Amino acid sequence: MRLLLLSAAACAAQTFLLDSMEGLSTRRVVAVVAEHKGKKGVRVTEPPGQTGENEDRVVLLPVKDFESGVIEAEISGEPGPGAAGGARGFVGIAFRVSDTPNTFDAFYLRPTNGRADDQVRRNHSAQYISHPQYTWSLLREKEPKKYESYVDLQPGEWTRVRIEVDGVKAKLFVHGASQPTLIVNDLKQGAWKGQVGLWIGPGTIGHFRNVKVTKK
């Protein structure tokens, strides 16, 4: 992994090309360097035989004190072979990850929903969660439509995402858009410092590259 440090004037910025596993650690996933769609990055999957709906599947970057700032990345997700019928290729970025690391906030995508022939399913293309208490299902039940949104996606395609975090507020931007796909004004963990991770959900093959973390 080549780590690029920018000047203090540009805040504390780190760019992870993800062309090696150096400095990365894993939880409930298998991660290897691989080429996908002609681009090199890290491929993340579930370990063989893993079952359950745990959402703390992450590859942790060597970023220990992210509180507010910007996270940018290229990500790709698609259901893996033999994935359950409800698999959507769940792929995203976790932030303010605890040392455990079973507590974090995250934005993620459901790529197979982006062009589904069902408007309700399309409306569930992008999601915010706060693990472990505020799961997608609880948030959808308690406050429908507030923590998820539509965005055009295709399974397995590289997708640019940008997450802006400021205190208890965060925004998700997709495809380089100037307007956010999803806005959250009440991050459930509050404002505190933590790690940054590459996140996948059940039954997913995820790819990640060019992750840039800029701390305020």
Kindly report, residue by residue over 123-179, the tens digit of the pLDDT.
999 999 999 999 999 999 999 999 999 999 999 999 999 999 999 999 999 999 999
Is 120 in contact with 113 (CB distance < 8 Å)? Answer: no
pLDDT at 54: 61
According to CATH, the superfamily of the domain at 25-215 is: Exo-inulinase; domain 1 (2.60.120.560)
Rounded Cα distance between 38 and 196, Å, is 25
4: enclosing H helix or E strand:
strand 3-5
Q: What angle do CA 78, 136, 26 make, to 5 degrees?
A: 55
Residues 6+ apart with CB under 8 A from 123: 145, 148, 149, 150
How many residues comprise the chain?
A: 216
Q: Phi and psi for 151 in degrees, rounded to 5?
A: -155, 145
Digit-coded pLDDT (tens) for 58-114: 999 999 899 999 999 999 999 999 898 889 999 999 999 999 888 999 999 999 999
pLDDT at 9: 39
| Residue 42 one-letter amino acid | V
pLDDT at 101: 82
pLDDT at 216: 92
